[in-house]
């Protein structure tokens, strides 16, 4: 078994969650990415969100939301992704940068458009009444 360790930002507004699609990918993912050697979760979060969205995460406001595991999207059997998610305040306006081709606000109705681990997170957010079942 191979494990991909990723950090992601949970950013909700009015029952929708900010998601990203990378160039050449067919699924949406929560913004974030893999840690560099020696980085903490929050250091990874700050760096990745700046690189992908051009916004400054307030490190002191980061709160762990949860850790979720699933088969890695587009990878062979036995390749799992472990996504540790954080909420955090930020400064700036998110825009698609670096490998990000598109930003989109999604609801639970878009569950089939996201990676397997994001589907688990979407279900959890719906159970907590944080994510809308359908757009209003």
Q: Per-residue b/e over 48-59, b at no fewer than 16 CB within 10 Å?
A: bbbebbebebee
* pLDDT digits 0-9 by tens, 64-115: 999 999 988 877 788 999 999 999 999 999 999 999 999 999 999 999 999 9
- 73, 111 in Cβ contact below 8 A? no
Mean pLDDT (whole number) for 127-132 = 96
pLDDT of residue 73: 84
pTM to 2 decimal places: 0.93
Nearest to 8 by CA among 27, 42, 29, 32: 32
In words, the CATH class of domain 2-127 is alpha beta
């Amino acid at each position: 078994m191979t494990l991909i360790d990723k950090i992601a930002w949970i950013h909700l507004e009015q029952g929708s969650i900010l998601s990203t699609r990378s160039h050449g990918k067919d699924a949406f993912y929560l913004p974030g990415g893999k840690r560099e050697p020696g980085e903490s979760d929050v250091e990874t979060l700050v760096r990745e969100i700046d690189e992908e969205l051009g916004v400054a995460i307030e490190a002191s406001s980061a709160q762990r939301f949860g850790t979720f595991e699933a088969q890695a999207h587009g990878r062979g059997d036995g390749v799992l992704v472990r996504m540790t998610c954080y909420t955090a305040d930020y400064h700036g306006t998110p825009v698609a940068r670096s490998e990000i081709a598109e930003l989109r606000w999604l609801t639970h109705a878009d569950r089939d458009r996201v990676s397997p681990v994001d589907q688990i997170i979407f279900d959890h957010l719906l159970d907590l009444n944080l994510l809308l079942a359908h757009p209003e």
